[in-house]
Amino acid sequence: MSREALQESLSAVMDNEADELELRRVLNAIDDADTRATWSRYQIARAAMHKELLMPHLDISAAVSAAIADEVSPLKAGRGPWRTLGRLAVAASVTVAVLAGVRLYNQDEIAGAQLAQQSAQPANIAMPQVKGPAVLAGYTESNDQTPGPMASGVLQNQAGWHDQRLPGYLRQHAQQAALKGTESALPYARAASLENR
23-82: which residues touch another protein (CB under 8 A)? none
Asked if 152 touches another protein (CB under 8 A), the answer is yes
With 0-12 / 13-18 / 19 or more C-beta atoms within 10 angstroms meaning exposed / middle / buried, residue 99 is middle
CB-nearer residue toward another protein: 67 or 166: 166
Piece of 2-10, 35-43, 53-61, 68-76 that binds another protein (CB under 8 A)? 2-10
Q: What share of the chain is helix, strand, coil (3-state, %, to 5)?
A: 65, 0, 35
| Count of chain residues binding another protein (CB under 8 A) | 85
Q: What DSSP state is assigned to residue 16?
A: T
CB-nearer residue toward another protein: 34 or 163: 163
Asked if 97 touches another protein (CB under 8 A), the answer is no
Asked if 106 touches another protein (CB under 8 A), the answer is yes
The Cα-based distances of 59 to 10, 29, 36, 55, 187 in angstroms read 17, 17, 10, 9, 54
Q: How far is the CB of 116 from another protein (least distance, A)?
A: 4
